Structure 1
Amino acid sequence: MHSRQSLTDVFSTFARFDGDRFKGWTTDPKLRRSMLNRLKQTPEAKTSENFWVLYWHKLWSAASEELEASQARLSLAEGHLSAYLQEACYWVAQKTLARFNSTHYNLSDYFQTAIAALPKILRGYNPDRNSTLKDYANVAFKSTIRDSLRASQEIDICTNWALLRKLSKKRLGEALEQGGLISEEIARYQLAWTCFKECYVPTQANKTRQLTKPDRATLEAIARLYNSERHTQIDIAEPERQPETIEQWLANSAKKVRSYLYPKMTSLNAPKPQSDSREVQDLLSATASESLLVELANREEVQQRQARKSELTAVLATALDKFNAQNRELMHLYYSQELTQQQIAKHMKTQQYTISRRLARSRKTLLDALVKWSQQTLNLSLSSHTIAEASDVLEEWLQGFYSQNNH
């Protein structure tokens, strides 16, 4: 992947894929015009990438707290930030692909899974507490992909019948409603599911994720229970149902649940059908845009934030330099190469618990340095909440520090 150079490209282009290969950058014309117009308005900020990250995030945050009138601004700001994070998302997706040899998902699948979490990432990012949006997103992208893989594995491993037994009634109802069923159908499916759980109780021997389909006798028992309960649970006019119908309903329920819990991935950048033909930037409130520019263009505030981040980097980098060669190698293998503790233990010819303890001690050394700096520079009082926040900041910093060094 070749990096984008100009600010206009960074905030208006998107990665294009061909299976597991990056094929280049695609420009969004609306976002490009939006950036060009704003760069003309604020020449003093032309060379500051961080300025525009803060600007678009502030615009996004303000728009997300307002009503429908702000949807155009929300969409524009989110588009620019999505473009900005394309490279960060790509590297996370590529590392995940190299680490997990999945037969079902390729690079673009991982990429789309991660970038789809952008609204959640933007809500969680705090410019005053977190290091940079890119570092924060790196951590969030990894977590999103891994959570998705865990969910996918659970759903793929379970048979329909094992999956149905693991469900709650509320989750089943949500899945059926999402699947387009009307209330009367949902009531029938839920009663059939309740009867299934009542009649098909796995034995200790077959209580596994590979639970097989109920035999004919069990299906008949489920149908009998359904028919005896149908008048009180659903409607007096509900007819009797055959075992084959109950089996079909249960199979459809499992299918709806799989689609609900693990939906197909769709590109965040795919055009919306029947979208407004007007330019997004034409719908923006000029007053709100200008006031945000004035607020964010306060160079003193931006410079102070940048100075603090530079100080923090110097403090932690100095603490890292004091590590012995083994611990420096350990941090490199864990954060830059992203090896597991077991893999590192094998590489360094030691036990996994030894690696775990050394990692914990190394993090504590860095955390102590960070907390001390925070107390001296930011005048923060020491509390469990402060330490927890410092720990999150440290983890983001380590991810960003080793990611930059690696690339």
Structure 2
Amino acid sequence: MHPRQEITEMFSTFVQLESDRFSKWLIDIKLRRSIQNCLEYSQKVPNSENFWALYWHKHWQEQSHSLARMHMSAYLQEPSYWTAKKTIARFIHSQYSLADYFQMANAEIETILKNFNPKKSSSLKAYATMAIPSRLKDILRQRKEADICTNWALLRKVSKKQFLEALSQAGLSRTVIAQYRLAWACFKELYVQNQPGGTKALPGTERQLWEAIVNLYNRERQTQLTQPTAQCTREKIEQWLTQAAIYMRAYLYPPISSLNLAISEDDATTTLDLPDLSSDSLIAEMIAQEDTQNRQNQQSQIQAVLLKALQNLEAKTQEILKLYYQQGLTQPQIVQRLQMSQPTVSRQLLKARESLLAALIQWSQDTLNISVTCNLVKDMSTALEEWLKVKYGESS
């Protein structure tokens, strides 16, 4: 395939799923025309996907091109699809389909673009390939927490900014939002959480709690609300807060609907004969050789970073690692071999892993501009453990 044709397709095509499987690529006519015009008027520009990814990302940041967001969405279809496919493969029983996971991943593109820093990483796709799975894991964990969270517990957890944005997104008027906000503020002031779980009403019984909330609201409304309102009842306060919790869930964790691709011009699309992504191989034919080389370079860099961090460890710590990973000795056996205490051996192993993990995280932040999350640290820790087994296994 000609390089310019390949660039055109990367920035103008979208995945279509049918029966929860990859079906075909759809090309957006307007996006194709846009990228073709750019290529035509930029004859001296290199035919590099990284160049055009950074080009459209810059326009997206500056909001100087109305199609930049759509070009970026098309470009990141592949990492979104593979994230969805690998995610669904992890769960035997899941309430979500491949299309659901794919839509979740696509919904995070705005966040991925916002967090990507071209000064730290030249490859947007490499960054997205690591960042999208991390974002999806966080979303799934939060959704699970929200599912088992009561309305009252949810309202206690959210911030004022989140609460107001949820009401605004629901389309409520300023007057109604002000009433909801005051009711929520009174609720948070008087409703406290018990230890270690559940809720406890103060002061005293549940009936007294709601009476206190209503009384506080009716006092505060006279100074907190700009427009005069009638006194409120317990039933009305509960109704407002229950509805606010519904708005909050819809704002934080939007319901998954069937995948609908955004078409930019009169639903003008055409089917494109591109490589089938249903192959088990993660290296689809459409991935540029340049991107493959980038991943190989990153693997080499990670190897170098870990080897350097390993060499910087104390000699005794390196010896303990060899006995543990290369010879397969248990900690009690290492204690006997080196005549050291059990706490010392355990502490040295933990310290070594922490040092190597810190080096790996630092490299990810500096090179790929990756935002470190708890899930990402867990993934890196697992990968590090596998690396140590392989590294010392090769030396045995």
Question: Residue 14 of structure 1: SS of its match in structure 2?
Answer: strand
Q: How many angstroms apart in 2 are the aligned matches of 1:175 and 1:169?
A: 10
2 CA distance for matches of 1:270 and 1:241?
44
Measured in 1, the distance between the counterparts of 2:227 and 2:32 equals 62
In the alignment, does 2:28 pair up with 1:28? yes
Tell me the residue number matched to 2:231: 240
C-alpha change, 1:12 and 1:243, in structure 2 (3 Å) is same
Which SS does the other structure have where 1:270 is aligned?
coil
1:65 aligns with 2:62: yes
1:19–1:264 distance in 2 versus 1, CA, 3 Å: farther
2:9 aligns to what? 9
Q: How many residues align?
A: 313
- Mapped contact 1:61–1:123 kept (Cα < 8 A): no
How far did 1:99 drift?
A: 2.3
Name the counterpart of 1:81: 72
Q: Residue 158 of structure 1: SS of its match in structure 2?
A: coil
Equivalences for 1:238-317 in 2 at 5 Å? 238-264=229-255, 269-271=261-263, 312=297, 315-316=300-301
Q: 1:110 aligns with which of 89, 101, 104?
A: 101
The alignment partner of 1:16 has SS state of strand
1:146 matches 2:143: no
Report how far residue 172 of structure 1 moved: 2.2
Shift of 1:142: 1.2
CA contact (8 A) 1:112 1:265 kept: yes
313 and 113 in structure 1: CA distance in 2 versus 1, 3 angstrom threshold: closer
Alignment match, 2:339: none
User: Following TM superposition, by how much is the alpha carbon of 1:135 offset from its aligned partner in structure 2, in angstroms?
Assistant: 1.3
Query: What root-mean-square deviation, in Å, do the aligned CA atoms of Structure 1 and Structure 2 show?
Result: 4.8
Alignment-mate amino acid for residue 155 of structure 1:
A
1:29 and 1:158, CA in 2 relative to 1: closer, same or farther beyond 3 A?
Answer: same
- What CA deviation, in whole Å up to 9, does each residue of 1:83-106 have, x standing for no partner? 232222211111122224563322
- Structure with higher helix content: 1
Compared CA separation, residues 249 and 321, structure 1 to 2 (3 A): closer
User: AA paired with 1:98?
Assistant: A
Task: Note the C-alpha offset of 1:145.
Answer: 0.8
Distance 2:230 2:256 in 1: 39
Amino acid at match of 2:124: L
Instruction: List runs of 5+ in structure 1 lacking aligned partners.
Output: 280-304, 324-344, 368-384, 403-407
- Give, in angstroms, the shift of residue 223 of structure 1: 2.5
Distance in 1 between the 2:216 and 2:176 partners? 18
Q: Secondary structure at the match of 2:65?
A: helix
Residue by residue, what CA displacement relative to the aligned partner does 1:173-199 show, whole Å, maximum 9, x if unpaired?
232222222222122222222332344
Which of residues 364, 379, 389 is equivalent to 2:366? Answer: 389
Which residue type is aligned with residue 55 of structure 1?
Answer: W
Q: Does the 8 Å contact 2:183/2:241 carry over to 1?
A: yes
CA distance in 2, matches of 1:158, 1:55: 44
TM-score with structure 2 setting the length: 0.61
Identity over aligned pairs, percent: 39
- Partner of residue 130 from structure 1, selected from 97, 117, 121: 121
SS in 1 for 2:26: strand
Structure 2 unpaired stretches of 5+: 270-289, 309-324, 332-345, 384-396
SS of the aligned residue for 2:24 comes to strand
Normalising by structure 1, report the TM-score: 0.60
- What displacement does 1:159 show? 0.6
CA contact (8 A) 1:163 1:254 kept: yes
- 2:12–2:28: 8 Å Cα contact kept in structure 1? yes
**How far apart are 1:260 and its partner, in Å?**
1.9
- Conserved? CA contact 1:57–1:122, under 8 Å: no
| Residues 248 and 349 (structure 1), Cα distance of their counterparts in 2 relative to 1, 3 Å cut | farther
Deviation digits for residues 191-237 of structure 1 (CA, Å, limit 9, x no counterpart):
2223323444444375369xxxx844533443333334332333684
Amino acid at match of 2:51: L
Q: Which amino acid aligns with 1:103?
A: S
Judged with a 3 Å threshold, the aligned counterparts in structure 2 of structure 1 residues 268 and 123 are, in CA distance, closer, same or farther, namely: farther
Which structure ranks higher in relative contact order (CA pairs < 8 Å, sequence separation ≥ 6)? 2
Which residue in the other structure is 2:335 paired with? none
Conserved in 2, the CA contact under 8 Å of 1:199 and 1:218?
yes
Give the equivalent residue in structure 2 for 1:176. 167
